[in-house]
Amino acid sequence: MGTKEQILNRLRENGGFVSGEELSGQLRISRTAVWKDIHSLREEGYEIESATNRGYRLKSCPDRYSAVEISAGLETEFLGRHIFCYESIDSTNEEAKRQALAGAPNGSLFIAEQQTGGKGRLGRSWLSPAGCGLWFSVLLRPGILPLQVTITTLLAGLAVCRAVRSLSGCDAKIKWPNDIVIGSKKVCGILTEMTAEVDRIESVVVGIGVNVNNAAFPETIRGKATSIRMENGKSLRRITLLQEILIQFETLLKQYTEPDPTFWEEYRKLCVSLGRKVEFTRRGTRVCGTAVDVSPQGELIVKLPEGNVEAVTAGEVSVQGIYGQE
């Protein structure tokens, strides 16, 4: 860790003014070197107050991704302990898969200010502009993974939903299996991809895209997309949201290994799909029914008009009243 990062940590931990003399003595560098590091931090967007005979005080941090900022106060055991930050990248999911092959450890975090090739399910593109959204992926290795990859997606969705609700006050809900909505519009999408050998899972990459501070969307998706800022009128620090999602996701992954995880009832209460008319494809035919439950295996249980039920495990499911579906 360089002296600049050490100064930042000391200012953050202290909370008040720290004298230049104290920083100089602790780090064994000159007062001039302290000043230069403070100046460099200010150029990076840190608001650092200085006062004669009192020293320096950290007032605010920039909402820019860096390993130092993400790690500060992140209370996780394995998620986000190895951080890969990018200004711009094709896709954090693609980078996570590349780094998985190179041996990146369990829980590695891949995050970018901007994605040039962000993607959603079924090969759809995902708009990922710089400076306003949260675009990241986490790499999971065997040992912490649920047996069904679908479950991993559902746990990630519940983690995002919890974090958005607690930090923004927005009434976020889950559209099974991989979207978070506010009202009838999408605020987050999740893409889970698995790499496996014939007899074992090598890794799972969970990509999460959250529209945080977006002020508007292109006309093509304006009727279906929203952001936290557009819903509550307030900007939210993206790193704070990221940290809360990681904490909640890790908690849920650990709880899932318990014999009787208690979060399913919470998931059902937050699942906007339940009780609504849905459509899905079964053996090439479009089928209509009413979503009535989510099974412990992560399946959407749909009651058909003739009275029997169908367990939907994957594929495209449209929900009445969501994204303009009638």
Contacts of 52 (CB under 8 A, 6+ apart): none
Query: Taking the domains of the chain in order of start, what are their residue ranges?
Result: 3-60, 67-270, 277-319
CB 151 within 8 A of CB 299: no
pLDDT at 98: 95
This prediction has a pTM of 0.84
- pLDDT for 123: 55
3-state secondary structure at position 318 = strand
Q: Are 80 and 70 in contact (CB under 8 A)?
A: yes
CATH number of 67-270: 3.30.930.10
Q: What is the pLDDT of residues 219-235, one digit of tens each?
A: 888 899 999 999 999 99
Q: Position 179: which residue type?
A: D
User: 174 exposed, middle or buried (CB, 10 Å; 0-12, 13-18, 19+)?
Assistant: buried
Across-strand partners of 89? Answer: 115
Whole-Å CA distances, 152 to 17, 164, 177, 203, 210? 44, 18, 10, 12, 17
Does residue 177 have a cis peptide bond before it, meaning omega lies within 30 degrees of 0?
A: yes
Sign of the alpha-carbon torsion through 282, 272, 206, 106: negative
pLDDT number for residue 59 = 85
Overall fold of domain 277-319? SH3 type barrels. (2.30.30)
Domains 67-270 and 277-319 share a fold: no
Paired tokens of 284: 């090439």
Q: What is the pLDDT of residues 156-191, one digit of tens each?
A: 999 999 999 999 999 999 999 999 999 999 999 999
Distance, in Å, from the CA atom of 42 to the CA atom of 21, rounded to the nearest integer, reads 19
* Per-residue tens of pLDDT for the chain, all 326 residues: 688 888 888 888 888 889 888 888 888 899 888 889 888 888 877 888 888 889 899 888 877 888 988 998 899 999 999 999 999 999 999 999 999 999 999 999 999 998 887 766 555 656 667 788 999 999 998 776 665 778 899 999 999 999 999 999 999 999 999 999 999 999 999 999 988 776 677 889 999 999 999 988 888 888 999 999 999 999 999 999 999 999 999 999 988 876 567 888 999 999 999 999 999 888 888 889 999 999 888 899 999 988 899 899 877 788 888 886 65
CA distance 8 to 172: 35
- Structural tokens at position 225: 């997309």
User: Which neighbouring-strand residues pair with 318?
Assistant: 279
CATH architecture of 3-60: Orthogonal Bundle (1.10)
Q: Phi, psi (5° rounding) for residue 96? A: -60, -40
